[in-house]
Structure 1
Amino acid sequence: MEYRKLGNSTLTPSVITFGAWAAGGWMWGGAERKDAIDAIRASYDLGVNAIDTAPIYGQGTSEEIVGEAIKGLPRDKVLILNKFGMRWDLEKGDFGFSSKDNNGNEIDIYKYAGKESIILECENSLRRLGTDYIDLYQIHWPDSTTPIQETMEAVAQLIEQGKVRYAGVCNYNTEQLEEARKYVPLVSNQVPYSMVKRNIEADVVPYCLDNDLSILAYSPMERGLLTGKMRPGQSFSEGDHRAGLFYFTDENIIRTNAFLAKIKPLAESKGLSAGQLVLLWTIAQPGITIALAGARNKEQAEQNAKAAAVSLTPDEVNSISTELAKLQLVK
């Protein structure tokens, strides 16, 4: 396993970090708790030392699962990357969207990052995780109703209190990054990035490279599209958010699978699946520090982790990129 430093921090997460959104079940058609715990532990056994979670994932379920999974492990050997700023139990801030919890109850999600909310969220997260500190605390989404100064000063206070080690953000553009860095030393920006979603290369990547900020790429497999396991007519479980996304139309699944077929010989020559090769390409891109890879069972987790045991040469990365340039998805 390879490990990379986040910004100018002392945190060195594995290049493949466990993404615990799907483990929480919410918006993924459910999940088995035992399978999720086994997945996290299997990842750890293969060198994955970092787990990314959030209170909103299953409305606390993902954090509880992470807490149970790491119980008994040396706390200083596990990095908890957590988030704040999405409330399902408070109507305040920017309205995000309506959803259903894991029990099928209607909930409204708000993006809110006021100081009192952050302090409360942190206490609740520490309790669910069964720990007394969070390694990286990240605002989940920008909140236009709260000044960035207020938000970042609240995180700075948590750092002073020892409840948080380092501050990060998620889904911030360059202007928001510039403002946030005035009030707390940031080490990272977590943003969506995959072979078929590369818009951050235009501005966010250069900014982060220039300012020693790490990029945590989430959804590098584009929620399963790039695994090669999707087929035309793909059906999703009730509550699975992918059902309405353009990425998963029959046409786009066909086009993506055709691309994956072209790079399959390279994957096979290295003993990799197409999905593993996709992860390796992702972490080889300029500015990308780590990739968050989700898993809902032990087998998926092991496959993700084992990808990092192999490396790509610059020529191999370029050959994949050449084929990728021919892939055009239909919106």
Structure 2
Amino acid sequence: MEHRKIGDSDLSLSIITFGAWAAGGWMWGGTERKVAVEAIKSAHDAGMTSIDTAPIYGQGTSESIVGEAIKGISRDKVQILTKFGMRWDLAKGDLAMHSKDNSGKDIDIYKYAGKESVIYECEQSLKRLGTDYIDLYQLHWPECVTPIEETFEAVAKLIEQGKVRHASVCNCSTSQIEDANKACKILSDQVPYSMLNRKIEKDIVPYCIKNKKSILAYSPMERGLLTGKIKPDHKFQEGDARRDMKMYQPESIKKIGDFLAKIKPIADEQGATLAQLVLKWTAEQPGITIALAGARNAEQAIQNAKAADIKISKEQMDFIDSELAKL
């Protein structure tokens, strides 16, 4: 598995990084803890040494699952990425959404990253993860209550204390990255990016390339849609947020399925799956440093790791782009 440096730091992450949102169950129709733990262990054994999680994923569930999965693994052999700034246990800041936890209980989620909250969240994450430091600590979403410089003054303090190694952001604009960078060195921006969502190519990508910031691409498979396994008649479980999204309606699924059928021969040539082709395509795009991939079980995790071995020629890249342009 290839590893790539994040920004101009000494931190390197596996180009396919384990995304642990689904492991937490929240907005994914629940989780099976034992299966999720095995998925993370299998991913690590297959070379995916980097794991991205967040407190909000299952309201602590994902982080505790990651903590259980990495027990027994030498700490310098795994890179832990987690986040802060989304509170379900504190009514302060910007109301982000009304939701339900894994038990079906109504919860309100707030975007809040005041200094005291950042420090508190870090302590809670360290406990759940069972570690004494976090490799990359990321602001989950920008908010309007706290100046972002103030937020990252708190992160800088955590770095001084050795509880955090490096600072980062998610879902931030170039100006927000600039402001955060005034208080603490920002290595990367974690943003949505896929064959079907390339908006960041207009501004985030050129900015990050110019300023030596990394891009961590999340949802590269559009939550399973680009695997080719979701068919027009698919029934999503209660609690699965995809069931109400336009992209996951039958007409859209069919259109995307037709596109996938056209590029499938490229995967077939190498004995690879569509998911593996999609992941490697993502990681090979200009400015993209790593692609995050979730897995619901060990077999999916192993298959995701194998995406790093796929080779895509320039001609094949051009063909994929030409077909994408028709969507």
Bucket of the pairwise TM-score, normalised by the shorter protein? over 0.9
Question: Deviation of residue 149 (structure 1)?
Answer: 1.1
Q: Partner of 1:317 in structure 2?
A: 317
2:108 is aligned with what amino acid? D
Aligned to 2:45: 45
Query: Residues 277 and 310 of structure 2 are in contact (CA less than 8 Å); yes or no, is this contact kept in structure 1?
Result: no
1:71 matched residue in structure 2: 71
Paired amino acid for 2:312 = L
Please state if 1:202 is matched with 2:174. Answer: no
| Paired residue secondary structure (2:223) | helix
Q: Once the 2 structures are TM-superposed, how far is the Cα of residue 181 of structure 1 from its aligned partner?
A: 1.0
CA contact (8 A) 1:284 1:317 kept: no
Q: Secondary structure at the match of 2:107?
A: strand
Question: What residue is the counterpart of 1:144 in the other structure?
Answer: 144
Give the match for residue 240 of structure 1. Answer: 240
> Given the alignment of the two structures, is residue 293 of structure 1 paired with residue 316 of structure 2, yes or no?
no
User: Hey, what's the Cα distance between the residues in 2 that align with 1:109 and 1:284?
Assistant: 35
Identity %: 65
For residue 171 of structure 2, what is the amino acid of its counterpart?
N
Query: C-alpha distance in 2, partners of 1:264/1:317?
Result: 13
User: Is the aligned partner of 1:107 residue 2:126?
Assistant: no
Aligned mates of 2:262, 2:13 — CA distance in 1: 31
1:136 and 1:164 in contact (8 A); partners too: yes
Please give the secondary structure, in 2, of the residue aligned with 1:131. coil
- Deviation, 1:311, is 2.0
Cα RMSD for the two superposed structures: 0.7
* Structure 1 CA distance for aligned equivalents of residues 288 and 147 of structure 2: 28
State the TM-score, normalized to the length of structure 1.
0.98
Q: Which residue of 2 aligns with 1:273?
A: 273
* Paired letter, 1:185: K
> What is the CA-CA distance between 1:81 and the residue it aligns to?
0.4
Aligned length: 327
Deviation at 1:238, TM superposition (A): 1.0
CA offset digits 1:185-209 (Å, max 9, x no partner): 1110000001111100000110001
Report 1:112-261 matches (<5 A).
Answer: 112-261=112-261
Secondary structure of 2:126's partner? Answer: helix
Structure 2's unaligned 5+ residue stretches are none
Question: Using the alignment, how far apart are the partners of 1:318 and 1:12 within structure 2?
Answer: 29
Q: Which runs of 4+ in 1 moved over 3 A?
A: none
Pick which of 230-239 and 129-138 moved more: 230-239
Deviations 1:294-328 (A, max 9, x none): 0110111111111112221222222211111111x
Consecutive unaligned residues of structure 1, counting only runs of 5 or more, are none
The whole-number CA distance in structure 1 between the counterparts of 2:221 and 2:33 is 22
SS of the residue 1:7 aligns to: coil
The answer as to whether partners of 2:276 and 2:310 remain within 8 angstroms in 1 is: no
